[in-house]
Amino acid sequence: MKKNVQQQPDGSYVAFMVRMWRDSARSQWRASAQSVHTGEVVRFASVPMLLHYLHSHVAHGATKDDPELEAAATEVETEED
| pLDDT tens-digit readout, 2-31 | 444 555 556 678 899 999 999 999 999 999
Tell me the pLDDT tens digit for each residue of 24-64: 999 999 999 999 988 999 999 999 999 998 988 787 765 55
Is the pLDDT higher at 71 or at 50? Answer: 50
Q: What is the pTM of this model?
A: 0.66
| 81 pLDDT tier (thresholds 50, 70, 90) | very low
Residue 25, judged by CB atoms within 10 A of its CB (0-12, 13-18, 19+), counts as: exposed
User: Cα 19–67–23 angle (5° rounding)?
Assistant: 25
